[in-house]
Amino acid sequence: MQIAPEQGQFMALLVQLVNARRIIEVGVFTGYSSLAIADVLPDDGYILACDINPDTTAIARRYWQAAGVDGKINLQLAPALETLNNVLADGEAGTFDMAFIDADKSSYDDYYECCLKLLRPGGLVILDNMLWSGRVAEEGGDADTDALKAMNWKIHQDDRVDMVLLPLADGIMLARKR
């Protein structure tokens, strides 16, 4: 469930390339992706980290603290859509530079839509597991596979973004908001 090391390194480079200061992370698990991107954020950088699991995020908090990046990460233990909608309601649309989505696959579409609203023009959405071990190319599938197939197709046709699907790790989709 953790991202691959090369993916963490790639995401850190993307943070630097887009000069990201404010990032959304949907799905924290044990915090490796948060740590990788927080490490390259400037001192005033900010990550809104969304997760529902207090056990795995307790591990994340320990690693963030040990790495000295915990002050850049605001962990919200609540359903991500609730957190994202609250941030939208607080008037923060268009104020984030990047979003990373790696949580329950059936909700990717909802997360994507919220994140697009929260991103500034030129902001970047990164979606994980978009190749799903090749299952997205097969006929049929379970609910997660079907959700990822639908997201691949939707983003490919979405005129609000420029996109690329990369065969890095389990497939990552980059979508740059126009």
* Tens digits of residue pLDDT in 137-178: 998 889 999 999 999 999 999 999 999 999 999 999 999 999
pLDDT of residue 139: 87
Residues 126, 128: Cα–Cα separation, whole Å: 7
Identify the CA nearest to 128 among candidates 97, 94, 160, 104: 104
Statement: residue 1 has pLDDT above 80: no
User: What mean pLDDT comes out for the span 28-52?
Assistant: 98
Q: pLDDT at residue 126 above 90? A: yes
pLDDT value at residue 57:
98
Q: Where are the domains of the chain?
A: 5-177
Distance between CA 65 and CA 176 in Å, rounded?
31
Average pLDDT (40-62) is 98
Residue 96 has pLDDT above 90, yes or no: yes
For residue 31, the one-letter residue type is G
Residue 107 has pLDDT above 80, yes or no: yes
Superfamily classification of domain 5-177: Vaccinia Virus protein VP39 (3.40.50.150)
Q: What integer is the mean pLDDT of 95-109?
A: 98
In this structure, how many other beta carbons lie within 10 angstroms of the beta carbon of residue 1? 9
Q: What is the mean pLDDT of the chain?
A: 97
- Give the confidence band of 136 by pLDDT, cuts at 50, 70, 90: very high
pTM (2 d.p.): 0.97
Q: Which of 11, 7, 10, 53 is nearest to 30 (CA)?
A: 53
